[in-house]
Structure 1
Amino acid sequence: MTRKIGIIGDGHVGSTVAHYIVANGFTDELVMIDKNEAKVKSDAIDFEEAMPNLDNHTKIYVNQYEELKDADVIISALGKIKLVDTPEGQNNRFIELVHNRDNVKEVSKKIKESGFHGVIIAITNPVDVITSLYQKYTGLDKSQVIGTGTLLDSARMKRAVANKLNIDSRSVSGYNLGEHGNSQFTAWSTVRVFDRPISELVDKYNLDLDQLDDEARKGGFTVFSGKKYTNYGVATAAVRLANIVMSDALTVLPVSNYREEYGIYLSYPAVIGRNGVVKQLDLDLTKDELKKLQNSADFIQNKYQESL
């Protein structure tokens, strides 16, 4: 069975996603779409010139929306990161909303016309609102449209905790929940290290959970301040999601998915498989965590309504 992925947006993130996919042979066919035709064509040629030195071959299509018809996954990486590097854009992912909202509406129409019936994975910021808009404008089932959400922020939390405890970040489990943005939070009741709840380790290892939570929340802006964009962390999260969908791996991950009880897309663990969200989980959160989640949901909902 032929594997096929579409990438919409060939900027810092989109090109990193494409390189990760091509270099590792994760798909047989790749559709690359960007309004900057010279850039996307050049990247496609560059990848083709890399292939003689790779173990895998990937057939690449450029700016051909019709090729999305039989794609398994579309990864939305469109955006205008330059807007973040302004006084108004400091620590504000919503600075891109007006620009990205209009582009998502335009792109969604073309996706719908192509006959695409796979899974959309949104990276585009503000990702929870943008994921909601993709679902609205494409008309795909809510389970088929997901965002990377706090899959990335949970990884940032794991990095922060692991660095403090001097262990591999893959040895930390747990979730950041809510918005992929300033209202997100680390659900410490879900975090385990050394096979114990992290709450039991606070005194022994002198852990400042508020500081670690803040480090995870601000991780993207820390990276942005140094190079004026972020790409590797979110690209890896998106490609992992795409591979999970294509292999029907049925993996539990904190992604932006539609939660009926909140009436909006936000990050909460769900089982991801071939059809997107296969099953939603219900965590045993503390009262404080539930309050934070509701506040985050309310914030996303308000921003979504403003975007319409």
Structure 2
Amino acid sequence: MINELKKVAIVGDGAVGSTYAHTLVVDDLADEIAIIDLNKEKAFADSLDLLHALPYLSASPKKIYAADYADAKDADIVVITANAPAATFDGEYDRLKLLEKNVAMIKSITKSVVDSGFNGIFLIASNPCDIITRLVAEVSGFPKNRVIGTGTLLETSRMRQLVAEAVAINPDNVHGYVMGEHGNSSFTAWSTVAAGAKPIKEIEHRLPSYVQMDQKIREVGFDIFERKGNTSYGIAAVLARISRAIFRNENVILPVSTYLNGEYGQKDIFIGTPAVINRDGVRELLEMPLSDEELKAFSNSADILRKNFEQIADKI
């Protein structure tokens, strides 16, 4: 149950964590923001910087501070954005490359948060997101609906923007989902995509090919990374969108990384798929009517995630 005064604890004050904190303040989503980072001086500096922005924002007064894990005890949401310093792409742009280096750190973070007495919702952005989300779920022992990864919500945003640009409409009017791994095996479920109420097939002649679009959606994050060293604004907006859905009990459908228990013929994995999000986390998963080709792509993505998790299962 969400408290009257909404509190978020952020673990990781890098580009993603600090941008998310700023978004929480600008969008007036949280009353209390606890920033946890090994570099406590940076967390302290960011907290002051954010507080100094408040007088010029249309936001309520807030408590923002550099925190310890004990401060997560009464948080509604703990957001994990941290990545181990050694977790790098090493020239190969595949989020799965980050897995081995992040396992021990995420396991330690999860245990520290749970030991504080935290009993809210975990929200995960650390990569590889789907596998790290499953790791947090297993280490924490929390109900699966209260452990959520950002999943393919960012890819879905990118798809909506690309379609909107191609047909010159507002991206708010593009509907549909990218599904699967938050990574190189993600795919757009084009059978779900529409511009307004018009199915995408009716305007596909105005778009690049689906193959080209999917490739762009998968690769654009790395294009950003190559040029600025991180992606931050998009993923911070994704975290804020999920936070809003939780705090405001929206019952909105978002393609997040959530637990499958037989849906699409898959079990015991976390993967990006549309789900209803409210104050309890994932209220329910919506199984979309995918085409045979899309089901095959989903199965392939699930297999990749399952095999990669098995490689680190003995470290949990």
Measure how far apart 1:278 and its partner are.
Answer: 0.4
Q: Write the mapping of 1:58-73 to structure 2, written as runs, cut at 5 A.
A: 58-73=62-77
Is the Cα–Cα contact under 8 Å of residues 9 and 75 in structure 2 kept in the other structure?
yes
Deviates more, 1:180-189 or 1:92-101: 92-101
Match of 1:122 among 124, 131, 134: 124
Q: What is the CA distance between 1:154 and its match in structure 2?
A: 0.6
Contact preservation (8 Å) 1:14, 1:77: yes
Could you report, residue by residue, the CA deviation over 1:106-135 in whole angstroms, capped at 9, with x for unpaired residues? 111111111111111101000000000110
Partner in structure 2 of residue 135 of structure 1: 137
Instruction: State whether residues 10 and 79 of structure 2, in contact with CA within 8 Å, keep that contact through their aligned partners in structure 1.
Output: yes
Runs of 5+ consecutive residues of structure 2 not aligned to the other structure: none
Q: Distance in 2 between matches of 1:202 and 1:264?
A: 33
Q: Name the structure 2 match of 1:104.
A: 106
The answer (yes or no) to whether the contact 1:81–1:229 under 8 Å persists in 2 is: no
Q: CA deviation at 1:3?
A: 0.6
Pairs aligned (count): 305
Task: Give the match for residue 170 of structure 1.
Answer: 172
Cα drift, residue 200 of structure 1: 2.2
1:30 is matched with which residue? 33
The 1:52–1:202 alpha-carbon spacing in structure 2 relative to 1, beyond 3 Å, is closer
Q: Look up the equivalent residue of 2:202 and give its one-letter code.
A: E
Question: Per-residue displacement from partner, 1:230-285 (whole Å, max 9, x unpaired)?
Answer: 00001000011011111111111100000012220001111001111101111111
Q: Is contact 2:154-2:238 (8 Å) kept? A: yes
Q: Aligned Cα RMSD in Å? A: 1.4
Counterpart for residue 216 of structure 2? 215
Please give the TM-score of this superposition, normalised by the length of structure 1: 0.95
Within-5 A mapping of 1:137-152: 137-152=139-154
Greater mean alpha carbon deviation, residues 164-173 or residues 148-157 = 164-173
What amino acid sits opposite 2:221 in the alignment?
G
Residues 180-214 of structure 1: per-residue CA shift (max 9 Å, x gap): 000110000000014211122223x2541111111
Please point out which of 199, 202, 218 is paired with 1:200.
202
Q: CA deviation at 1:92?
A: 1.2
The aligned residue for residue 289 of structure 2 is: 284
Counterpart of 1:226 in structure 2 is 227
Q: Map Cα deviations across residues 154-199 of structure 1 (whole Å, 9 max, x no partner).
A: 1111111111112211111000111000011000000001421112
Query: What is the Cα deviation at residue 54 of structure 1?
Result: 3.1
CA distance in 1: counterparts of 2:163 and 2:280, whole angstroms: 33
Q: Which amino acid aligns with 1:172?
A: V
Asked if 2 retains the 8 angstrom alpha-carbon contact of 1:25 and 1:57, the reply is: no
SS in 2 for 1:57: coil
SS of 2:93's partner is coil
Aligned residue in 2 for 1:49: 52
Residues 201 and 207 in structure 1, CA contact (< 8 A), matched pair in contact too: no
Are 1:15 and 2:18 counterparts?
Answer: yes
Give the alignment's TM-score, normalised by structure 2.
0.93
The equivalent residue for 2:184 is 182
Which structure 2 residues correspond to residues 232-251 of structure 1 after superposition, within 5 A? 232-251=233-252
**Paired position in structure 1 for 2:5:** 2
Shift of 1:68: 1.4
What is the rounded CA distance, in whole Å, between the counterparts of 1:158 and 1:121 in structure 2?
23
Partners of 1:176 and 1:288 in 2: CA distance: 14
CA distance in 1, matches of 2:45, 2:175: 40
Indicate conservation of the 8 Å contact 2:80/2:124, yes or no. yes
Residue equivalent to 1:77: 81
Question: Aligned partners of 2:101 and 2:64: how far apart in 1?
Answer: 28
Contact 2:271–2:302 (CA under 8 A) maintained in structure 1: yes
Letter in 1 for 2:302: A
Distance 1:81 1:13 in 2: 14
